[in-house]
Amino acid sequence: MNHPSPSFRIETYSPAHQNVWDQFVRQAKNATFLFERNFMEYHADRFEDASLLVFKEKKLVALLPANRIGDQVISHQGLSYGGLVLSAKTKLTDTVVVFKEILRYLNQDGVSKLQLKLLPKIYHVQPADEIDYLLFLTEATRTRVDVSVSIANSAKQKIQGNRMEGVKKAERQGLRVEKTTNFSSFWNEILIPNLAERHGAKPVHTVEEIELLAARFPKHIAQFNVLHHEKIVAGATMFVTKNVAHVQYISANADKQQLGSLDFLFEQLITKTYADKKYFDFGVSNENQGKNINEGLHYWKECFGGRSTVQEFYEIDTAKYSALDAIFI
């Protein structure tokens, strides 16, 4: 089968697609609000968008959020994760054709490699592992693995005593947690100075960008600050999806050990604020393109009862689309 499947067609994303794109994302089995265009395009000036929509006849059956650099397409450099987004109604037979047609389309458009930064499985609303099988068939190369710490709330472990000691310190000193729509105090007083001092880095989002995104997605983005005598001493920015409460940013001032500020904050977020979610995800502790782990940070997260989950990165040769011929017997 060397010609495009007649009932399937691919369209490159344009603004005219926004409504149908966003509607599909909201009901897909493996997508989050990060794939909605109002999130993807807050930094559109930094990326050459190469997102694709796949239709079976007139029905949209899959999306690929992506950007392009030279002869490579990446899903998506501006997002925490990407991959092939599927409807719950799209069965394996159609998914094979969808992925084949995407690879063929890219190959004919001069793209040699497709890079996928897969959505971690804890974010799947329904089983959505078709892509794992297709990566095997196309002999994709796994280029990177990051390790996160996630708590499964249905089988939650006790928070370790060393973390609860921090909670008691905080309670004795009258700390309190405040949910707020004001991100600037955390960004300017805590997060930016800490990243600059410890890593010579800046937050991925500027305060203006996170405020814009929070205004666009108020049900999904939340800021929690820890106050001591009404002065901010720590905070966390949360990205909340159907299954997962994910920590996007964590930071505290130099008194965090004496105050127990972060222990206090996360005990509350885990046991109260987001106890109804399937997972509480602390995010990765990796450095050096996944090759190293910040051991102290990873251990601190595990003390709250979390264990390791992974995020995988793959590279696919687009010429491998023919490997998806005649796989069904």
Kindly state the DSSP code that residue 157 receives in the 8-state scheme.
P
Sorting pLDDT into bands at 50, 70 and 90, what band is 1? very low
**Which residues are CB-contacts of 72 (< 8 A; sequence separation ≥ 6)?**
111, 112, 113, 114, 115
Model pTM? 0.94
Q: Are 156 and 118 in contact (CB under 8 A)?
A: no
pLDDT at 321 over 80: yes
Would you kindly state where each structural domain of the chain is located, as residue ranges?
Answer: 8-146+312-324, 158-305
For every residue of 221-262, DSSP letters joined together read EEEEEEEETTEEEEEEEEEE-SSEEEEEEEEE-TTHHHHTHH
Distances (CA, A) of 90 to 101, 293, 316: 15, 37, 22
Which homologous superfamily does the CATH classification assign to the domain defined by 8-146+312-324? Gcn5-related N-acetyltransferase (GNAT) (3.40.630.30)
Interhelix angle 92-108/130-137, rounded to 10 degrees, is 50
State the architecture of 158-305 in CATH terms.
3-Layer(aba) Sandwich (3.40)
Predicted confidence (pLDDT) per residue in 172-210, tens digit: 999 999 999 999 999 999 999 999 988 788 999 999 999
End-to-end Cα spacing for the chain: 15
Q: Are 234 and 225 in contact (CB under 8 A)?
A: yes
Predicted confidence (pLDDT) per residue in 46-73, tens digit: 899 999 999 999 999 999 999 999 999 9
Euclidean distance between CA atoms 290 and 312, whole angstroms: 10
Domains 8-146+312-324 and 158-305 share a fold: yes
Euclidean distance between CA atoms 86 and 77, whole angstroms: 20
Nearest to 273 by CA among 263, 265, 281: 265
Predicted confidence (pLDDT) per residue in 203-217, tens digit: 999 999 999 999 999
pLDDT at 194: 92
What is the pLDDT averaged over residues 258-266? 97
pLDDT at 45: 85
